[in-house]
Amino acid sequence: MWQKLALSAGVVVAALVIFVAQQPSSFTVERSIAIEAPAAMVYGHIESLRAMDQWSPFAHMDPKLKIEYEGPEAGPGARSAWEGPQMGTGRLTITGVEPAHEVELTLEMLAPMKATHRLLFTLASTGRATRVTWRMDGTNGFVGKAMGLVMDVDSMVGGQFEQGLASLKALAEAEAQQRQGGLEGHDARG
């Protein structure tokens, strides 16, 4: 009797392992928003990790989060490292830029789970607006594939991307209106 139960449990476990192993090993999360501000202005809020932490929801999710910055203020080599009880431990490094068009970063999660993902911000001018796209590409090992069966990365992270892009939009549009108001006031005085 016990042998049949053990054999049945072994078959179920083997089937589950095979099912998990066949899940996609890569994922992409992407969200976009139109911002009524010039691309160069929006880019200034993305090329600097300190500036990014003003609007990124990830910098505000853990009240005990400690962030340290290294390297240049902006551009390739700029790095932030964080540690907090809710956010774990990780690093974010700017690896490439195309001014006013693109910022590429490497996200390294060190704890509680190790993972490395590519982040990419692209900016495209569309008349008076700038379309900003926030994208994350990553790969899943066996544990990540298994977790993907019960947690949808796109839904979890995508909501945070939407929140961050909405904050970036509010910040950049307020700056654009302030600058426009200053220019109009200057023009009116002659």
Half-sphere exposure of 42 (CA within 13 A, CB side): 30
- Which domains, from first to last, does the chain contain? 23-140+152-183 (3.30.530.20)
- pLDDT for position 49: 96
- Asked if residue 13 lies in contact with residue 112, where contact means CB atoms within 8 angstroms, the answer is no
Q: Is pLDDT at 171 greater than 90 in this prediction?
A: yes
Torsion angles phi and psi, residue 101, rounded to 5: -130, -35
- Asked if residue 110 lies in contact with residue 90, where contact means CB atoms within 8 angstroms, the answer is yes
Average pLDDT, whole number, for the chain?
84
pTM: 0.80
Q: Is pLDDT at 13 greater than 90 in this prediction?
A: no
Instruction: Find the mean pLDDT for residues 79-104.
Output: 95
Q: Is pLDDT at 32 greater than 80 in this prediction?
A: yes
> Which range (6-15, 38-47, 83-92) has the least confidence?
6-15
DSSP per-residue string spanning 50-84: HHHHHH-GGGTS-TT-EEEEES-SBSTT-EEEEEE
Q: How confident is the model at residue 131 (pLDDT cuts 50, 70, 90)?
A: very high
- pLDDT for position 162: 94
- Asked if residue 80 lies in contact with residue 58, where contact means CB atoms within 8 angstroms, the answer is no
Q: How confident is the model at residue 117 (pLDDT cuts 50, 70, 90)?
A: very high
Q: How confident is the model at residue 1 (pLDDT cuts 50, 70, 90)?
A: confident
Q: How confident is the model at residue 57 (pLDDT cuts 50, 70, 90)?
A: very high
Q: Is pLDDT at 158 greater than 60 in this prediction?
A: yes
Q: Is pLDDT at 113 greater than 90 in this prediction?
A: no
Question: Structure tokens of 158?
Answer: 């995508």
Give the SS3 label for residue 106.
Answer: strand
